[in-house]
């Protein structure tokens, strides 16, 4: 029996990872540690919450004593660390929370693992899940490889870069068995509607403006979240200790083209006239420090671990839109209360 701690398991990607591990590895005990911030939602895990190999623990990775005790009590021997503040716009409004959770929280977990594991490191693994945003911005050509120098521009990416450096430092200094992955933008079900794709799905559905920052020519590489969860499984089990793996969708889109495609998919699903939802597109003030383009070279994980995305963007987007349209209650629950305040401040509507 492996005792596996997954942090941030009530969030978007974390819930897909928890679901995959609970269903695939009945011989692992999965502890999902999550603070349940605005982005964490136990509704995301309703389908697996009663499984015997799963336990939810509410807690804050900023609290070292709590985290340290948890390692002893549950005899943790593997960690998949996803808990983070994850939204760039929120990091611009409140950088300190990003330092506290993403940097201090990560170091707390590293210290707890180091204390608990001591020199008994066989079969131990600390997996840190990170982002391609640590590499900064690309021009119109080129790709991020695992050797690209870090050059973060937003408080979010600076905090993730810092946490990546700490994880590597614990490997190099203390011999902690770590592995890191840096992934491109994810999309799929259970994604909080402050990020581009779920925000636009929500607004198209409600005939509200679709806010496009700047000229909309910013480019992101998009990966279906279920494929990311599978990559995380591969890296956790087969990744080389001390190594980094870039994970991407081989799927670059300018924001404006992506939103137009989404409008077309939604028009068809909602029985609207073709082109109706594109009229909602509204260009708004740009994000400060906005990175022009992210693009991942994911050839290492393909070559070494045999991973590739399994769905096309059209397939993934169709599944995603269907999920949101079939899960009104989820969307209504997360867009009440605090969401309204955030939305007003961010978009001044």
Q: Which of 6, 12, 146, 229 binds ligand NAD (CB under 6 A)?
A: 12
Determine the Cα–Cα distance for residues 41 and 12; give it in Å rounded to an integer.
9
Determine the Cα–Cα distance for residues 14 and 74; give it in Å rounded to an integer.
20
Q: Is 31 a catalytic residue?
A: no
| Selection from 61, 60, 51, 62 nearest residue 27 by Cα | 51
Longest Cα pair distance anywhere in the chain, in angstroms? Answer: 65
The answer to whether 37 and 10 have CB atoms below 8 angstroms apart is no
- The Cβ of residue 283 has, within 10 Å, a number of other Cβ atoms equal to 14
Instruction: Specify the stretch interacting with ligand TYD by CB under 6 A; choose among 44-52, 138-146, 174-182, 193-201.
Output: 193-201
CB neighbour class for 137 (10 Å; exposed up to 12, middle 13-18, buried from 19): middle
User: Nearest approach, Cβ of 312 to ligand TYD (angstroms)?
Assistant: 20
**Sequence-separated (6 or more) residues with CB below 8 Å from residue 9:** 15, 17, 18, 30, 32, 33, 34, 45, 56, 82
- Out of ligand TYD, ligand NAD, none, what residue 183 binds, judged by CB under 5 to 8 A for its kind, is ligand NAD
The secondary structure of 28-68 as a DSSP string is EEEEEEE---TT--GGGGTTTTT-TTEEEEE--TT-HHHHH
Instruction: Specify the stretch interacting with ligand NAD by CB under 6 A; choose among 5-13, 48-56, 257-265, 316-324.
Output: 5-13
Q: Give me the 167-186 binding string for ligand TYD, x by CB under 6 A, dash otherwise.
A: ------------------x-
Instruction: Specify the stretch interacting with ligand NAD by CB under 6 A; choose among 2-10, 118-126, 141-149, 302-310.
Output: 2-10
Q: Which of 5, 109, 129, 138 binds ligand NAD (CB under 6 A)?
A: 129
Q: Is 328 a catalytic residue?
A: no
Backbone phi and psi for residue 180, each to the nearest 5 degrees, phi listed first: -130, 145
Q: Which of 83, 212, 229, 305 binds ligand TYD (CB under 6 A)?
A: 212
Q: Give me the 62-81 binding string for ligand NAD, x by CB under 6 A, dash otherwise.
A: x-------------------
- Out of ligand TYD, ligand NAD, none, what residue 88 binds, judged by CB under 5 to 8 A for its kind, is ligand TYD
Determine the Cα–Cα distance for residues 108 and 103; give it in Å rounded to an integer.
9
Q: Is 28 a catalytic residue?
A: no
- Out of ligand TYD, ligand NAD, none, what residue 180 binds, judged by CB under 5 to 8 A for its kind, is none
User: Nearest approach, Cβ of 263 to ligand TYD (angstroms)?
Assistant: 14
Q: Which of 183, 199, 265, 321 binds ligand NAD (CB under 6 A)?
A: 183
Determine the Cα–Cα distance for residues 86 and 183; give it in Å rounded to an integer.
13
| Selection from 187, 27, 134, 159 nearest residue 84 by Cα | 159
Number of residues that this document lists for the chain:
349
Percentages of the chain per state (helix, strand, coil), in multiples of 5: 45, 20, 35
Residue 280 interacts with ligand TYD (CB under 6 A)? no
Q: Which of 106, 163, 255, 335 binds ligand TYD (CB under 6 A)?
A: 255
Taken in order 115, 119, 124, 128, is the CA torsion positive or negative? positive
Determine the Cα–Cα distance for residues 324 and 193; give it in Å rounded to an integer.
10
Instruction: Specify the stretch interacting with ligand NAD by CB under 6 A; choose among 21-29, 34-42, 298-306, 308-316.
Output: 34-42
Instruction: Specify the stretch interacting with ligand NAD by CB under 6 A; choose among 83-91, 108-116, 299-307, 312-320.
Output: 83-91
Report the residue closest to ligand NAD, judged by CB. Answer: 11
Q: Give me the 185-204 binding string for ligand NAD, x by CB under 6 A, dash otherwise.
A: xx-----x------------
The answer to whether 324 and 205 have CB atoms below 8 angstroms apart is yes
Residue 83 interacts with ligand NAD (CB under 6 A)? yes
Residue 213 interacts with ligand TYD (CB under 6 A)? yes
- Residue numbers at the binding site for ligand NAD (CB under 6 A): 7-8, 10-14, 34-37, 39-40, 60-62, 82-86, 101, 105, 129-131, 160, 183, 185-186, 192
Catalytic residues: 132-133, 156
């Amino acid at each position: 029996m492996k005792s596996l701690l997954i942090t941030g398991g009530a969030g978007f990607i974390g819930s897909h990872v928890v679901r995959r591990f609970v269903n695939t590895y009945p011989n692992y005990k999965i502890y999902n540690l999550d603070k349940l911030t605005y982005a964490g939602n136990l509704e995301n895990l309703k389908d697996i919450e009663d499984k015997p190999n799963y336990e939810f623990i509410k807690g804050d990775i900023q609290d070292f004593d709590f985290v340290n005790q948890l390692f002893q009590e549950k005899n943790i021997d593997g960690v998949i660390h996803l808990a983070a503040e994850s939204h760039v716009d929120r990091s611009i409004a409140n950088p300190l929370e990003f330092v506290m959770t993403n940097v201090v929280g990560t170091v707390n977990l590293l210290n707890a693992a180091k204390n608990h594991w001591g020199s008994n490191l066989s079969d131990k693994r600390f997996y840190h899940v990170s982002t391609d945003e640590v590499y900064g911005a690309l021009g119109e050509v080129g790709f991020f490889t695992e050797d690209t120098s870090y050059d973060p521009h937003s408080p979010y990416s600076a905090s993730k870069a810092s946490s990546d450096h700490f994880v590597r430092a614990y490997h190099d200094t203390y011999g902690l068995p770590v592995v890191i992955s840096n992934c491109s933008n994810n999309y799929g079900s259970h994604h909080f509607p402050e990020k581009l794709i779920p925000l636009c799905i929500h607004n198209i559905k409600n005939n509200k403006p679709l806010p496009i920052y700047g000229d909309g020519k910013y480019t992101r590489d998009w990966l279906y979240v279920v494929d990311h969860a599978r990559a995380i499984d591969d890296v956790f089990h087969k990744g080389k200790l001390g190594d980094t793996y870039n994970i991407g969708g081989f799927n670059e889109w300018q924001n404006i083209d992506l939103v137009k495609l989404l409008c077309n998919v939604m028009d068809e699903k909602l029985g609207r006239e073709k082109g109706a939802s594109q009229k909602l597109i509204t260009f708004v003030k740009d994000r400060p420090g906005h990175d022009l383009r992210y693009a991942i070279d994911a050839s290492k994980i393909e070559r070494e671990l045999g991973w590739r995305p399994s769905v096309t963007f059209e397939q993934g987007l169709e599944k995603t839109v269907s999920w949101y349209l079939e899960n009104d209650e989820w969307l209504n629950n997360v867009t009440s209360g605090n969401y309204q305040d955030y939305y007003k401040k961010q978009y001044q509507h």
